[in-house]
Structure 1
Amino acid sequence: METLSSFIELANGLLSPVLVTGLLGAGLFLTLRLGFIQIRRLGHGFAVTSGKYDDPNEPGDVSHFQALTTALSATVGIGNIAGVALAIHWGGPGALFWMWITALLGMATKYSEVTLAQHYRETIEDGKAWEGSVAGGPMYYIEKGIKERYGWNWKPVAVFFAFMLMMTSFMTGNAIQANTIATEMASNFGLAKWITGLCTATIVGVVIIGGIRRIGAVTGVLAPLMAALYVTGGLLILLLNAGDVPGTLATIITEAFNPSAGVAGTGIGLFLTTMTYGVQRGLFSNEAGQGSAPIAHSAAKTDEPVSEGVVALLEPFIDTIIICTITGLVIVSTGVFDDKVPTTISLGDNNVSYVQVDDRGNITSTSSPRELAVQNGMPVVTSGTDPRLAYFDVPVDTLFIDAAQTQPFTGTIFPGRAQAVGSDGTTYAVLYGNAVRNSAPLTSLGFQRGLEPLGLSELGRWIVLLCVFLFAISTAISWSYYGDRCANYLWGKKAILPYKMVFLVMHFLGAVVAVTTIWDLGDVALSLVTLPNVITLVLLSGLLKRVTDSYFQRKPWLENYEVHRRIVEEKKQKAAARKQHERI
Structure 2
Amino acid sequence: MVDIVTRVNNVVNGFVWGPFGLALLFCTGLWLSVRTGFFQFRRMGYWLKHTIGAIFTNKDVTAHTSKEDMAISQFQSMCTALAGTIGTGNIVGVATAIVSGGPGAIFWMWVMALLGMMTSFAENVLGVYYRRKNEKGEWNGGAMYYLTDGLGAKPGCKAVGRVLAVLFACFCILASFGIGNMSQINSIAGNMNAAFHLPYLATGLALMAMTALIVIGGLKRVAAVTEKLVPLMALFYVAGALIIVVMHAGNIPAALAAIFKGAFNLNAAGGGALGYGISQTITWGFKRGAFSNEAGLGSAVMVNSASNVKEPVHQGMWGVFEVFADTMVVCTLTALVILTTGVVDLESGAVLAGVQDNALVGRAFTAAFGSFGPKFIAVSILLFAYSTTLGWSHYGTKAVEYLFGTAGSRVYKVVFVCMTVVGATMKLGLAWDLSDTFNGLMMIPNLIGVLALSGTVVDITRNYFARRVRGENIEPMWSAFEEYQKEEEAEAAAEARQQ
Q: Where does residue 93 of structure 2 map in the other structure?
A: 83
Match of 1:8 in 2: 9
Taking the aligned partners of 1:554 and 1:494, their CA distance within structure 2 comes to 41
Q: Amino acid of the residue matched to residue 54 of structure 1? A: D
Offset of residue 117 of structure 1: 0.5
CA distance in 1, matches of 2:378, 2:436: 24
Q: Does 1:218 align with 2:225?
A: yes
* Partner residue in 2 for 1:64: 74
Partner of 2:171: 164
Partner of residue 442 from structure 1, selected from 351, 357, 360: 360
Matched with 1:334 is: 341
In the alignment of these two chains, the number of paired residues is: 454
The answer to whether the 8 Å contact 1:170/1:506 transfers is yes
Aligned mate of 2:455, from 539, 542, 556: 542
Inter-partner Cα distance in structure 2 for 1:4 and 1:92 = 31
Task: Using the aligned pairs only, state the percent identity.
Answer: 39
Tell me whether 1:272 sits opposite 2:191 in the alignment: no
Deviation by residue 1:174-232 (Cα, 9 ceiling, x = unmatched): 12211111121222233332332222222222111111111111111111111011111
Structure 2: distance between partners of 1:87 and 1:525: 21
Higher strand fraction (1 or 2): 1
Q: Tell me by how many angstroms 1:245 deviates.
A: 1.0
Query: Which residue is 1:17 aligned to?
Result: 19
Residue number in structure 2 paired with 1:27? 29
Residue type at the aligned position of 2:164: V
Distance, in Å, in 2 between the alignment partners of 1:86 and 1:306 is 35
Q: How do residues 512-523 of structure 1 correspond to structure 2 at under 5 angstroms? A: 512-514=425-427, 517-523=430-436
Aligned 8 A contact 1:260 1:268 in 2: no
Closer/same/farther in 2, CA of residues 537 and 53 from structure 1, 3 Å limit: farther
Equivalent-residue separation in structure 2 for 1:160 and 1:191 (angstroms): 39
Inter-partner Cα distance in structure 2 for 1:271 and 1:3: 32
Give the alignment of 1:93-104 within 5 angstroms. Answer: 93-104=103-114
1:4 and 1:37 mapped to 2: Cα distance?
43
Distance 1:556 1:515 in 2: 52
- How far does residue 270 in structure 1 lie from its aligned partner after superposition? 3.5
Output the CA distance in 2 between the equivalents of 1:187 and 1:66.
33
- CA contact 2:175–2:436 (8 Å) conserved in 1: no
Displacement of 1:462 in angstroms is 2.6
Which residue in 2 is equivalent to 1:324? 331
When structure 1 is superposed on structure 2, of 197-206 and 531-540 the one drifting more is: 197-206
Cα 1:259/1:203, change in 2 over 3 Å: farther
Q: Secondary structure at the match of 2:60?
A: coil
Aligned to 1:135: 140
Amino acid at match of 1:147: G
Assess if the C-alpha contact under 8 Å between 1:121 and 1:135 holds in 2: yes
Structure 2: how far apart are the matches of 1:99 and 1:196? 33
C-alpha distance in 1, partners of 2:284/2:306? 32
Q: 1:522 to 1:268 in 2, by over 3 A?
A: farther
Within 1, Cα distance between the matches of 2:372 and 2:275? Answer: 36
Instruction: Please give the root-mean-square deviation of Cα atoms over the aligned residues, in Å.
Output: 2.8
Of 21, 44, 54, which aligns to 2:60? 54
Pick one of 143, 146, 152 that aligns with 1:147: 152
Q: Closer, same or farther in 2 for the Cα pair 1:258/1:514, shift >3 Å?
A: farther
Q: Deviations over 1:297-336 (max 9, x none)?
A: 0010022111111111101100000100000111122122
Shift of 1:161: 0.4
Residues 332-360 of structure 1 show CA distances to partners (whole Å, capped at 9, x for unaligned) of 22122469xxxxxxxxxxxxxxxxxxxxx
The higher-RCO structure (CA 8 Å, 6+ apart) is: 2
CA distance in 1, matches of 2:427, 2:102: 23
Would the alpha carbon gap of residues 445 and 7 (structure 1) be closer, same or farther in structure 2, given more than 3 Å must change? farther
Task: Return the alpha-carbon distance in structure 2 between the equivalents of residues 189 and 311 of structure 1.
Answer: 37
8 Å CA contact retained: 1:259, 1:274: no
Structure 2 vs 1, CA of residues 332 and 522 (structure 1 numbering), >3 Å: closer, same or farther? Answer: farther
Displacement of 1:520 in angstroms is 2.8
SS class of match (1:492): helix
- AA matched with 2:97: A
Deviation at 1:121, TM superposition (A): 0.4
- Cα distance between partner residues in 2 of 1:111 and 1:311: 8
Which of structures 1 and 2 has the bigger CA Rg?
1
- The letter for the 1-side match of 2:186 is N
The equivalent position to 2:187 in structure 1, one of 180, 184, 192, is 180
Counterpart in the other structure of 2:290: 283
Farther-moved stretch of structure 1 (170-179 vs 313-322): 170-179
**5 Å matches for 1:529-568?**
529-555=442-468
Q: Which runs of 5+ in 1 are unaligned?
A: 340-360, 364-393, 397-433, 559-584
The CA distance in 2 between the partners of 1:188 and 1:6, in whole Å, is: 35
How far off its partner does 1:29 sit?
0.4
Distance 2:112 2:43 in 1: 18
Matched AA of 1:445: R
Q: Distance in 2 between matches of 1:44 and 1:32?
A: 18
Distance in structure 2 (CA, Å) of the matches to 1:556 and 1:202: 48
1:227 aligns with 2:234: yes
On the 8 A contact 2:304/2:315 being kept in 1, the answer is yes
Cα offset, 1:251, TM superposition: 1.0
TM-score (norm 2): 0.85
Deviations 1:371-405 (CA, angstroms, capped at 9, x unpaired)? xxxxxxxxxxxxxxxxxxxxxxx9x9xxxxxxxxx
Secondary structure (helix, strand or coil) at the match of 2:356 reads coil
Which residue does the alignment assign to 2:312?
305
TM-superposed deviation, 1:81: 1.2
Equivalent position to 1:194, from 201, 223, 230: 201
- Measured in 2, the distance between the counterparts of 1:506 and 1:488 equals 19
1:485, 1:259 → 2: CA distance? 47
Q: Secondary structure at the match of 1:68?
A: helix
Report the CA distance between 1:555 and its aligned residue: 1.0
Amino acid paired to 1:76: I
Contact conserved, 1:337 with 1:437, CA < 8 A, in 2? no
Change (3 A) 1:41 1:517: farther
Q: Deviations over 1:530-577 (max 9, x none)?
A: 01111211111111111000011111999xxxxxxxxxxxxxxxxxxx
Q: Aligned in 2, Cα 1:122/1:260: closer, same or farther, shift over 3 Å?
A: farther
Structure 2 counterpart SS, 1:302: coil
Post-superposition CA distance 1:150-182 (Å, at most 9, x none):
441220110000110111111111122111111
Q: Distance in 1 between matches of 2:74 and 2:109?
A: 26
